[in-house]
Amino acid sequence: MIKAGIVGGTGYTGVELLRLLVRHEKVELTAITSRQEAGRAVSDYFPSLRGHTNLRFEAPEQASLSDCDVVFFATPHATAMHQVPALLDAGVRVIDLSADFRLKDAATWQQWYGEPHASPEHLAQAVYGLPEVNRTKLGDARLVACPGCYPTAVQLGFLPLLEEKLVDPGSLIADAKSGVSGAGRTLKLGSIFSEVSDSMAAYSVSGHRHLPEIRQGLAAAAGREIGLVFVPHLVPMNRGIHATLYAKLTRPGADLQQLFESRYRDEPFVDVLPSGEHPQTRSVRGANTCRLAVHRPQGGDTVVVLSVIDNLTKGASGQAVQCLNIMFGLPETTGLGASAVLP
């Protein structure tokens, strides 16, 4: 059994990790930390887990994380970058769900997160945890930086087009819509039910922290800089991201349906819908799947890709488990085989 620990398990990515890992046949959860809830049973804090785990939260300094084979960070940004080096030194592999190791450039990180990066020397070593791009590298990774939720949905939708140079890389638009759990389990007035229900709005149009991450990934796929307008929106649903992606085709005659099906044929967690369909976010609720559909409205020169994921599963904790499976040589779908809960 792989001994796994979780740092910061009281948020939504934390409880999603717990849901997945308590059922994972090859993983034994041995430690979970929370300063605030230290001593409390996890199943007392999350009654949905009653009967599923006997784990208790421990204070970070008490938890024997260095005895783990792998430690997940489900923390806000600027936490992992302080603690990861010691764990790596102790031989523990790390899967970081936060933003700390996603960007390769420390200056860019500082620009968007407002403080210097605490361990810039580890940025190069970190493997970006998008298996559909980095599967091979993940096998040997000591430190995995799991992609953000928007970046997962946007990159999986644009990748085939950019890799094959079928679109103008300066013309990309990502109009993305997220469920409210993406804002985290934290006290913000803007997350209150009566502030967001029966309403929707865009936010951070001037610049969202996922923008440089998406740019970095798409530039790598395109082999050059890309131009991207990224507009996130908050939608009154719990889970789910719907990214609607636009780009100018440079070769309008290409068979886009075939391109997408071919690119993702062997991917266990990317599903290309038949031509003409529209994926619903609920079709991936609680599942580690990205569903894509590709359209060319009115036969014009703009391609529209619809990309849906569950922000907490393929957009966070499910993808983290997928990375773990690859890192430890397990079948990639281990513990991730459930279909969506629908309705």
Binding mask 127-166 for its own copies (x = CB under 8 A): ----------------------------------------
Question: What's CA 264's distance to the chain center, in Å?
Answer: 18
Which residues, 20 to 39, sit near its own copies by CB under 8 A? 22-23
In this chain, which of 121, 124, 194, 265 binds its own copies, going by CB under 8 A?
A: 194
Helix (H) or strand (E) holding 271: strand 270-272
In this chain, which of 89, 121, 265, 276 binds its own copies, going by CB under 8 A?
A: 276
| Cβ neighbours of residue 54 closer than 8 Å, sequence gap 6 or more | 41, 43
| Cβ neighbours of residue 114 closer than 8 Å, sequence gap 6 or more | none
Phi and psi torsions of 138, nearest 5°: -65, -25
Distance (Å, whole) CA 34 – CA 63: 10
**Shortest distance (Å) from residue 153 CB to its own copies:** 13
| Cβ neighbours of residue 82 closer than 8 Å, sequence gap 6 or more | 118, 119
- The active-site residue out of 68, 146, 149, 323 is 149
| Amino acid letter, residue 21 | L
Does residue 323 carry a catalytic annotation?
Answer: no
- 188 makes contact with its own copies (CB under 8 A): yes
Task: Estimate the crossing angle of helix 131-140 against helix 210-222, to 10 degrees.
Answer: 90
Q: Is 253 exposed, middle or buried (0-12, 13-18, 19+ CB in 10 A)?
A: exposed
Specify which residues 31 forms β-bridges with: 5
Distance (Å, whole) CA 146 – CA 131: 10
Which residues, 54 to 93, sit near its own copies by CB under 8 A? none
- Point out which span in 1-9, 68-76, 84-92, 287-295 binds its own copies (CB under 8 A): 287-295
Which residues, 307 to 326, sit near its own copies by CB under 8 A? 308
Binding mask 105-134 for its own copies (x = CB under 8 A): ------------------------------
- Point out which span in 91-99, 114-122, 238-246, 319-327 binds its own copies (CB under 8 A): 238-246
**Shortest distance (Å) from residue 168 CB to its own copies:** 11
- Point out which span in 48-56, 81-89, 130-138, 320-328 binds its own copies (CB under 8 A): 48-56
Nearer to its own copies, 220 or 292 (CB): 292
**Shortest distance (Å) from residue 119 CB to its own copies:** 28
Grouping H, G, I as helix, E, B as strand and the rest as coil, residue 114 is coil
Q: What angle do CA 284, 289, 295 make, to 5 degrees?
A: 85
**Shortest distance (Å) from residue 63 CB to its own copies:** 23
DSSP code at position 285: T
**Shortest distance (Å) from residue 192 CB to its own copies:** 5
Catalytic sites, residue numbers: 149
